[in-house]
Amino acid sequence: MTPRFAAFLVWVALSGVCAAAFASTLDLAPRPVGADARLAALDADLSTPVAPGQGLAPPEPGAKSMPGPGGAALRSLLIPGWGQLATGHKTQAAVFFGLEVATWTTYATFQHQGALRRDSYFDTARLFAGIDLADVPDSYRKLVGQYRSSDVYNQYVVLREATYFYEDPTERAQYIESRSIPDANAWSWGDSYDEFLRYKAERRSSEQAFKNAQYTLGFAIINRVVSAVAAARQASQHKAESDALGGGAQPGHPTARLAWGLAPGAGFVPDARVACVVRF
């Protein structure tokens, strides 16, 4: 293979790749005709006068207009991927919507895990500590996992605080009465130290599951913001390209097509012509 023939093959390959890439950008395929026919058609297109209004394609029935940047962003804020779908980016739309479905599925899973583990440590406290935690504040549930009994809490926490902060006996008694655990909410783990540790582990696991559910809500917000920004940029880019092609010059849908061709030239160097024909 001679160097000139190799250069000719490279030139042909690069010309085809560039033409296909440019045509895919315009969503218009090159004309499927022979090389000589392409050149003849191009010369005819460039030499034929175009009357005003000629070449305008009538709007297709039921065709949907492209949303602006604001409309595309609003769609993606409501449902991630909707803005991408409206701007014609179906793959990105599937990605963002898939992330949205996965996020809410994960959220529901963590919520369910947290509820199951909460019921588990409720049962542990009822069976081994003698307290029903269903109707008590979360502060009580935390104390049950920190102290072996309510008496220990009353004596070593409330009584010591009252003695340290108040010298007046009346104020001290009022503080003790207001801060002590009442008998109705008393608990005692007794000798069930293993169950006491199990309660702490189950409660910690339940709280972590609920926190993970909150984290997924944060990811859902991020997914919406990213989808909205991307959709707005895509709609803005499409509008700029449409304006560059004269899309706003007249009502309707201006047409554009890419004409190109290759023909043998002098020696092994081919003759090539590439043009974008836009009709308004």
CA angle 211, 214, 217 (to 5 degrees): 160
The most distant pair of C-alpha atoms in the chain lies apart, rounded to whole Å, by 114
Q: What is the pLDDT of residues 156-199, one digit of tens each?
A: 888 888 888 888 888 888 888 888 888 888 999 988 899 999 99
196: nearest Cα among 118, 129, 123: 129
Domain ranges of the chain: 1-13+29-44+245-280, 115-214
183: number of CA atoms within 13 Å, CB side? 0
204: nearest Cα among 81, 133, 113, 95: 113
Q: Please check the confidence at residue 267 and state whether its pLDDT lies above 90.
A: no
- 165 Cβ partners below 8 Å, 6+ apart? 175
Taking residues 236-262, what's their average pLDDT?
64
The per-residue pLDDT of the chain, averaged, comes to 77
Distance CA 171, CA 164 (A): 12
In order, the DSSP letters of 66-100 are PP-HHHHHHHHHHSTTHHHHHTT-HHHHHHHHHHH
Q: What is the pLDDT of residues 12-69, one digit of tens each?
A: 444 444 434 443 343 444 444 455 555 555 555 555 554 544 544 454 554 467 888 8
Token look-up 């309510």 returns 150
Distance CA 131, CA 133 (A): 6
Confidence at residue 104, expressed as pLDDT on a 0 to 100 scale: 96
259: nearest Cα among 89, 2, 46, 5: 46
Distance CA 126, CA 122 (A): 6
Q: How confident is the model at residue 253 (pLDDT cuts 50, 70, 90)?
A: low
Token look-up 């409309």 returns 71
